[in-house]
Structures are given as structure tokens and as C-alpha cells.
Amino acid sequence: MALAPLGTQVRPYRDYLTPALHRRFNKASRYTLLLCYAIACWMGEWNNLLWLWFPLGLTGIRTLLIFLSALTIYVLRVAQWHVGRRQTQTRAETFTKYFFRPATLVTLIAYSFSAMMFVETYIWSRGTKDRLNFIEAGRMHERFRLNERPLYLRYLFYVLAAAQSGIHLWRDYDKIEVQAMKPKKERGDAAAATPTRRAPKPRNVLFKQLKGIATLSSSLASVIALVGFALYFIGTRNLIWSYYYSFGRYLWSLSKTSTPTGLAPFLPLCFMFITEGILLVVIWEFVNKTFDVYIAQEPLKNDVPITNDSTDPNGSLLNGLKSKKDTVRAIAFWELALITDAFPDRRKTIYSEMERKKAPTHQQVTDLCLGELKFLVDRVSVGLDPAYQPSSGSGQDQPAGPVSLVPRIAQPLKDDKPISAAPPKPNTRWEHIEATTASIAKSHSAPGNAQQAYSREAINRGVKKAQEGAKEAESFFTTYYNKLVSSPVGVLFQHSFQRTANIVVLGAPYSQLSRVCNAATALTNLAVFSLAEDSMGRFHQGIPSIVRVFTIALKKIDEYMEVAPIHSSDIETLNKPEAERKKVPEVDEARECLREGLEKILGSFNEYLGGMGLSKLEIMDAKKIVGVKKAPEMIQAAAKQ
């Protein structure tokens, strides 16, 4: 894993991430294909058990068609997945922000197409005894009659697709949870190059979730059977039938007008939908679960980091850390945290690569990780003071001065002199009288005198009353708005302290918890292990900056959580005990990760901090924020500074 020769182009991080995701997708597809095969066997005719399970026949064709239905959802997930949970202030904001967008329509189309493939495969697999053909022949002297039974069955499956789309959007199935690692517990190095498995095997996770999938599938199919029946017969039956009949007349010789032909026998038709609807929802839920489990696996290949295949592993990793895509950057920080935690050989290369372009590897890694923590500090600072402006770099371009395209032929106008010419001085007696009269008129018509007039006073009184009325109306509106929001009806508009704190500390539109924790973990591990592995002795130069940023981040989080107000409509938070109102799990997790990291750094460099450029007051603040007892002499020395 030596540094690539100078001039060698470093391959981008996505060249190693994309194949890893493809391998996981293939593994997930195998289980899905097996499920589709089992459902295809269930759909077949049970009069011949040999051909029922034999894949080279109708069962194989049904399997491929059903798998195409599942593959549609896989494509949807690949196109829309993101890292971290959604961050909004209210439920209404979540609806307006994420419902009215093209992705919502794409989700509905994907589930509708999946349902269409499934129901058409099922209808094609049924025999004539189930009466699911488009038309019914009737008697010899009668025209063909359009069959309403397959129309009703298709209608229920499309309603089921719409309901599943709503669940997909409501529960944010597109979310992928990337692990937020914490600093290594023990300081000793692991001798083995292969880390122990941190997460259970995907198939074990899927097996445990089968019960929940079955429960949700049964409930959803049963509810849609009842709701779809009510909607169909209350108002949509005749409308759907008219379009259905108009389309059928182009294919068969039907009468000019017709009424719905009925659904008898109805109970077997309902049993068909409930049974097959459960199986379709099982496919959808299974696809979503397998995608979540396999895509959220650690960025490893054969138990080593995925960038180990690169000619310049750390160069490719740096490209991932600098990526503009949040998903790529989140996984790159996860891999960095894994490398610093469980791969000592790869970790040592971060210290030893000094001749990299722009800066040594350890310095670039440190700057990128500190950048994530500084973003957190800026977000919290804005939450504390909306007028706060993040400090801009000194290298920003200054605005250029005016460009002179032609030579100046005259001096510029001065602001302290009027442009218009002064009036001529009076010479004759009448001119003096006229000037005096004009000055008296101007003095009496000045704005100050006009305000003392009765009309001006009346206007002022009217304006004052209007302002008072506006304040009363605003107070009236605010009072009733707060009552509405605090009621169960206004639950969509209720503000939540937990939501607000997550946005301020962890960012939006998606939570950056994993990036914050993994960046802090990587810095902590690199700092702690540098005492034994940094043969160049350069990493310690960044320890003061790391300690300062960790300390500032912790102090800002504590300050915000202490002074942040709780909205009057936040009934859920106000009903909690006083001591638990400002406990936010995600924020507490990020804070604990920073605190543990700072504590380990202080413990490892305790006797060296003073000589590294940290003042005694800074050391005392850092130890105070992590809860370490300070010696009396340190307190006295800090007080003298």
C-alpha cells in the first residue's frame, strides 16, 4: 500500500464504492429471486407437482415476471437512497417539502408498475374456472360481455400500490443508516489485521424481520380490501367502468352501452386479492429490507477496506472524503473511521505519506475531519445567534476596483456640493421683497410646521389607532393559532424541540450524525495511536487544533441545549419531566462521541499539552468539558493568566 509514483493518476473513490454496492445488490437479489420462485410455485396449478416446481417451464417464466416486479423497487431504491434521517421542524414542513416533488411521482409510478406486473402474472396463471378473462362469451346468440371481475381485482392492486407508496414516503424507506462509530475503547493495538464482525450477518437480520413483514403485509392487504371495496362502490365504479368499456369496444364486438356486469362470486375474488396482495406486499417489504441491510454494510471487501485495491489507497480515500455527494462522503468517512480503528497497517500509511501533493496525508485527513466539526460549530452558532456569520478564509478574492477604459477629462462630482445652480441674488427692491416673501412662505410650509396642523394630527391619530388595531389583531391571531397548534387537530403544525435541536446540531435536509461521529472517531484514533506509530513525529503538530475544535464544539452544543427555548405547541416535550425535556438522543450521541474522543486525547497527551502550544486555561476548559478533575495548582495558574 505504498504511495503511488508521482504522475500516477489517482482513481476516484466511486470506482471502488460502486463495485462494492453492486456486489451487495447481487447478494440481495439472490434472496429476492428465491422468494419470487416460491411465489411462482404458489401461483401455479397444483394438479402436477413435478411441473409445479420445475424451473424450466411456466414456473420459471412466472418467476422472472415476478422478479421484474421486485426489480422495479430495487431500481427505485438505487435512484433515491440517501444517508441519514430527514430533518424538518414540523410534520407539515415534511409533507410540503417532500411530497410535492418529482420523486413522489416516481415512487408512485414504480409501485404501480410493480403491482401491474404482479397482477397480470397472476391473472395469466389462472384458469377459466376463476373467471378472470377480459370477456365472457355467454350464450351463442349473445354478444360478448365485458367481465368486471378482473377490473375490480386490478383496481384493488393499484390502490394497494398507492397505499404502499404512501408508506414508503411516510417512513422514508429511501434512508440508509450509516454507522456512527465511537473512539476505540482500548488503547492497545490489535494484532490481527482482520477485524471482528461488528454487525450481525444480513441473513440473520432478515430472518428476524420476517415476522414484522408478515404482520404489515397482512394488515395492509386486509385494510385495502375494505377501503377499496367502499371507494369502488361509493363513487368510482361507474367512472372506471365507462373508460374500461370504451377501451374494450375497440377490441371486441360489444353493445353500444352497458352497465357493470357484477362481481359474483364475490367472496372468492376477495380471497384472491387478500392472498396475492399479502404476497405482493411481502415482496415490496422484503426488497426494502434487503436493500437497507446490504447497502448499509461496512465498506469492506474480503474483510479489508475497499480502497485497498487502489494503487494509491489513501489518495482514493481522500477523493471520497472531498466528494460533493453526501452519500459518497458519508461512506468515505465511515471507511476512514474503520481504518483508524481496526487496520493498523493501513493506519500507519496515513502517518508516513509525507510527499503527497498539496499536503501530507495526515494533514489532509485532519483538515477534512476538522472541517466537519467546524461545520457543526457554525450551525450551532447560527442557532444561538441568527446574525452570526461564519469566518471566511483569508484567501477569498477581494472585489475588484473600477476599470478605467478611457482617460479622465474632468474631475468627478463632489458629494458635498449641490449639482443645481444657486438662485441669483436680488438686485432691485421688488426682488428683495419677493425673496423675503418666498422665504417666509417656505418657513411656514416646512414639514415640522405641517405636523402641527390639525389635519396632520388627525392623520397621526388614525395611524396610531390602525397600528393598535393591527397589534390587537396580531395578538388575537397568535393566541388562537397557538391554541390550534396545541390541539390534537394541529399536530401537523406542532413544533418539536427534538426536531429543532437535530437540525441545528446535525444539519439539514438530512442528518449528518454519522459524518460527525466518524470524523471525531478518526481524529481520536489517529491522535492516540500516533504516540506509537507516527515514526515521522509530525501528527502531534495538529493536536492543539483538534483539542480546541473538540472543546468549542462541546461548549457550543451545551450552550445551545441550555438556552434553546421549547415552543408552546410542543406538547410532547412539555409533558415530560423537567430533567428530560432537553434530552435529544441523536444530539446526545454526537456529544458523547466528541466527549469520549476529547477525553482520550487529553489522557494520551496530558503531560505534553503545555509544550504543544495550548495554554493552561485552554487545557483546563478542555478537561472541564469532559468532566476531568483539575488539580488546584492548575486552577490557580489559569486564574493568573
Give the C-alpha separation, 173 to 285, whole Å.
10
604 occurs within a structural domain: yes
Which segment of 44-53, 268-277, 567-576, 609-618 scores lowest on mean pLDDT? 44-53
Give the CA dihedral 358, 363, 364, 365, nearest 10 degrees: 160
**Residues 165 and 58 grouped into a single domain:** yes
The answer on pLDDT for 213 being more than 80 is yes
The answer on pLDDT for 448 being more than 70 is no
- Residues 455-504 pLDDT 10s: 455 545 555 655 555 555 556 566 666 666 666 667 788 888 999 999 99
Would you report the helix, strand and coil content of the chain in percent, each value rounded to 5? 65, 0, 30
> Can you tell me whether residue 533 is helix, strand or coil?
helix
Angle at CA 30, nearest 5°, toward 121 and 50?
A: 55
Angle at CA 214, nearest 5°, toward 211 and 216?
A: 110
**Residues 507 and 607 grouped into a single domain:** yes
pLDDT recorded at residue 578: 85
**Residues 322 and 292 grouped into a single domain:** no
What's the number of domains the chain is made of?
A: 2
Rg of the chain taking only CA atoms, in angstroms: 36
pLDDT recorded at residue 633: 38
Residue 293: give the domain boundaries: 18-181+204-297
568 occurs within a structural domain: yes
Q: In b/e form, how buried is each residue of 441-463, taking b as 16+ CB within 10 angstroms?
A: eeeeeeeeeeeeeeeeeeeeeee
pLDDT recorded at residue 590: 96
468 occurs within a structural domain: no
**Residues 136 and 252 grouped into a single domain:** yes
**Residues 365 and 249 grouped into a single domain:** no
Q: What is the pTM of this model?
A: 0.81
**Residues 212 and 133 grouped into a single domain:** yes
The answer on pLDDT for 60 being more than 50 is yes
For the chain, give the mean pLDDT.
Answer: 82
Which segment of 44-53, 190-199, 271-280 scores lowest on mean pLDDT? 190-199
Give the C-alpha separation, 535 to 25, whole Å.
41
CA dist list (Å): 563 to 192, 549, 575: 47, 21, 19
Which segment of 360-374, 396-410, 441-455 scores lowest on mean pLDDT? 396-410
Share of the chain above pLDDT 70, in %: 78
pLDDT recorded at residue 351: 94
Instruction: Let me know how many helices (H) and strands (E) the chain has, helices first.
Output: 23, 6
pLDDT recorded at residue 600: 94
Give the C-alpha separation, 13 to 358, whole Å.
18
**Residues 222 and 358 grouped into a single domain:** no
Are the beta carbons of 597 and 183 closer than 8 angstroms?
yes
Mean pLDDT in residue range 49-63: 83
Q: Is 139 exposed, middle or buried (0-12, 13-18, 19+ CB in 10 A)?
A: exposed
Q: Strands 300-301 and 304-305: what pairing?
A: antiparallel
Please state the φ and ψ torsions of residue 305, each to the nearest 5 degrees.
-55, 145
**Residues 596 and 560 grouped into a single domain:** yes
Give the C-alpha separation, 44 to 235, whole Å.
35
Q: C-alpha 513: how far from its chain's center?
A: 11
pLDDT recorded at residue 55: 81
Give the C-alpha separation, 493 to 499, whole Å.
12
Domain boundary among 236, 269, 297: 297
pLDDT recorded at residue 91: 87
- Residues 118-158 pLDDT 10s: 999 999 998 888 888 888 776 666 677 888 899 999 999 99
pLDDT recorded at residue 185: 62
Give the C-alpha separation, 247 to 243, whole Å.
6
593 occurs within a structural domain: yes
Mean pLDDT in residue range 238-260: 81
Could you tell me which residue, 57 or 331, shows the higher pLDDT?
A: 331
Which segment of 259-273, 361-375, 471-485, 517-531 scores lowest on mean pLDDT? 471-485
The answer on pLDDT for 368 being more than 80 is yes
Domain boundary among 245, 266, 297: 297
**Residues 557 and 597 grouped into a single domain:** yes
The answer on pLDDT for 411 being more than 60 is no
For the packed helices 344-352 and 326-342, what is the interaxial angle rounded to 10 degrees?
110
**Residues 219 and 320 grouped into a single domain:** no
543 occurs within a structural domain: yes
Largest alpha-carbon pair distance within the chain? Answer: 129
Domain boundary among 297, 323, 356: 297
Give the C-alpha separation, 341 to 337, whole Å.
6
C-alpha cell at position 408: 479622465
pLDDT recorded at residue 585: 93
The answer on pLDDT for 636 being more than 60 is no
pLDDT recorded at residue 382: 92
What does the chain come to in residues? 641
At residue 187 the predicted structure's pLDDT band, cuts being 50, 70 and 90, is low
pLDDT recorded at residue 445: 47
